[in-house]
Chains A and B, each alone.
Chain A
């Protein structure tokens, strides 16, 4: 095996421009040509890796990491430059695409064994892959019945057993339960130490430092940093902002008073049942919620400050969102629950102030009741909705997230559509990105129900958001979103997520949001869940 040599790689795509009027549509119809522009996904990327080297690709979504991995894997032909590598390549990019939900675990293991070119008899290899994945006892179960984390074990284990000389991995190291992730990382390190080259894309600077000696950061397809991983800019461990979180909770009594004074009725929703929580969360996390025994270290690791206070509220949080969503679905209009929006919570753990993922729970409850068929989450919190995106991998929910390009959460899971907005973007850039993203997402997914997470943390004075959007900008955002949803006759459940500026300002922004939503849906009964 030789090393990997990448010389001056570039990749351009033709992107179809939107047709703005009937005349251009007619011209396109009769000429057979679409107006297009060139989009440079990669430009002048070069590097060399010797056997046994590991390279982490960093950068915001859309920076070119996946395109570069696809060029290295031979999936995408570069527009210019060359890739030189003499050895077996294995890629784990969108690895779920190989799996067939309607076939058994055994059939899927066989498919993985063949696609990752394991030498020998496919049937025997399938057995070995199932054993390594710890799924032997589920051999005859349909793959669709497994959780997303369990499913991904099959391609991962097949890839690790492939004997490849070059591993190309796209954010796959971010998913799965902690134990499985640790095992994969350990095995990858062993393979790396034996001479395999490792190239992986990640948003997690800590992971980059732990796994790779070198980091290559991309932005808009160009290399902005290449060097030792321990000198990667902006890799300090994130601070857990417990004080801001507690401050954010202070806004609710003020919001209640404001809503009451404006003619809204506050109604306490029934808490969710354990069964409803289990539609999304694992029994082990439910047990932890009940025990309410997170250690101080766990609070730090999971960014769950004041967990003694928040964990017992999980059932009420989920119940409120379920009730508001039911009301919206039944009326074909709007439901509001200000306390909802736990978009960082994963099935097996809470994260980032979110003990449970109430939107995902409500989506599954309503799906089970037959009230919705194609629900979606439009997440306009300043932080990426990683937990919801992960849960949505199992199907039944589509997610959109428009958030600050870097910062929390460092370990992200790809949504159906992610819009990375640069820090400090301000009103104009923020609104343009949100409007375009939401329009494209609704056009693509065509949901029959939307959970709208309209947080106030994009506000310019918010200490954790960092997007520098004015109160007026947020009002325009909400008017656009609910105006669009109402025009498309899509029922919506509004949840308000986090807000960390002064309680008075947060209340004003939250109130504006509820007002904008209520104005867009005249049938709204003005009942707000608490």
Chain B
């Protein structure tokens, strides 16, 4: 992407983020309140059952929620981004990737705030930080790539198939339960646990938990995540480029 393209991407991401904050009464506090509320509900429901076998279930759950929320919000926001920005797309020579990536980036800004709050909480609870936390940087960059790639594909498809919004909502609901957000993989049967380990979301969440607990993430999980992210980005970018003219006409 050329320098001007990058500037437009950042400018649009800034606009999206500001619009999301300004359109609510509590502004950016929602960024923290949403996962906090979800945490309170899940913790209250499952601490007695799942908390027994999982040490420090509160931290375990918070990391799961923060990481899951990013993917769910970023992809949902990206899905409608091309249609939302159709007036701009039809009046300015703007590459189709830019509004999609801007919407993912705007959610990423919020995600970084959530991670910062989580890190602050953990440093108080654990009495300091650990070098292994730095693993979050490559992890989150790969995760951003995964969300961006998925968002690009979804946004391109949504221009032609309006049912996709509903379908994606259902997939995300299923995905929430098929990802170890609030339960440890150990509570599942071994064959199911092995199957879920192939999911990039499992890889992100489990790796983030390891990194924040002071250990290095597993190489297999990292490789799995990077491969998924690269595949998603390649598929998303290829789809938008291949369908560029058709998307322009459909908008």
Binding site for B on A (CB under 8 A): 13-14, 70, 73-77, 89, 91, 93-95, 97-98, 100, 102-103, 107, 110-111, 114-115, 117, 122
Contacts and interface: CB of A to CB of B under 8 A. Distances in A.
Contact of B22 (A74, A103, A110): A103
B93 A77 contact: no
Chain B contact surface mostly: helix
Contact of B18 (A14, A98, A103, A114): A103
A47 B244 CA distance: 26
Interface string B69-89: 000000000000000000111
A93 B4 CA distance: 20
Given A76-B249, A77-B248, A122-B11, A115 B19 contact: no
A102 B249 contact: no
Contacts of B248: 75-77
Contact of B92 (A75, A77, A102, A103): A75
Most chain B CB within 10 A, of A13, A100, A115, is at A115
Nearest to B88: A97
B91 A115 contact: no
A201 B161 CA distance: 34
Nearest to B16: A100
Given A75-B248, A77-B248, A114 B90 contact: no
Interface of B: 4, 7-8, 11, 15, 18-19, 22-23, 87-93, 244-245, 248-249
B160 to A, nearest CB: 11
B4 A107 contact: no
Contacts of A117: 4, 7
Given A77-B248, A115-B11, A122-B11, A107 B18 contact: yes
A14 B245 CA distance: 13
Contacts of B15: 100, 103, 107, 111
A95 B87 CA distance: 9
B19 A73 contact: no
Contact of B7 (A70, A93, A114): A114
A117 B3 CA distance: 10
Nearest to A73: B93
A94 B89 CA distance: 11
Contacts of B8: 114-115
A97 B22 contact: no
Contact of B88 (A13, A74, A98, A107): A98
Contacts of A95: 91
Contacts of A14: 249
Nearest to A77: B245
Given A103-B19, A110-B11, A97 B245 contact: no
Contacts of A70: 90
Contact of A75 (B4, B11, B23, B90): B90
Nearest to A89: B93
Contact of B249 (A13, A74, A100): A13
A244 to B, nearest CB: 39
Contacts of B88: 97-98
A100 B93 contact: no
B91 A75 contact: yes
Contacts of A98: 88, 91-92
Q: Taking each of B93, B245, B249, which has the highest tally of chain A beta carbons within 10 Å of its own beta carbon?
A: B93
B93 A75 contact: yes
B92 A111 contact: no
A77 B95 CA distance: 12
Contacts of A103: 15, 18-19, 22
B19 A93 contact: no
B19 A102 contact: yes
A253 to B, nearest CB: 48
A111 B19 CA distance: 13
Contacts of B244: 77
A107 B89 CA distance: 20
Nearest to A98: B88
A95 B4 CA distance: 19
A115 B4 CA distance: 8
Contact of A97 (B18, B23, B91, B249): B91
| Across the A-B interface, the 5 shortest Cβ-Cβ residue pairs | A97-B87, A94-B91, A77-B245, A114-B11, A74-B93
A23 B194 CA distance: 49
A91 B22 CA distance: 30
Given A97-B88, A103-B19, A114-B8, 6 more contacts: A77-B244, A89-B93, A97-B91, A97-B92, A114-B11, A115-B11
Nearest to B85: A97
Contact of B90 (A94, A102, A111): A94
B7 A122 contact: yes
B148 to A, nearest CB: 20
A165 to B, nearest CB: 14
Contacts of B91: 75, 91, 93-95, 97-98
A114 B8 CA distance: 6
20 contacts: A73-B92, A75-B89, A75-B93, A76-B249, A77-B245, A91-B93, A93-B92, A94-B87, A94-B90, A97-B90, A98-B88, A98-B91, A98-B92, A100-B19, A102-B23, A103-B15, A103-B22, A110-B11, A114-B7, A115-B11
Contacts of A107: 15, 18
- Identify which of A14, A89, A107 gathers the most chain B CB atoms within 10 Å of its CB: A107
Contacts of B89: 75
Contacts of A93: 91-92
A111 B11 contact: yes
A74 B93 CA distance: 6
A362 B7 CA distance: 43
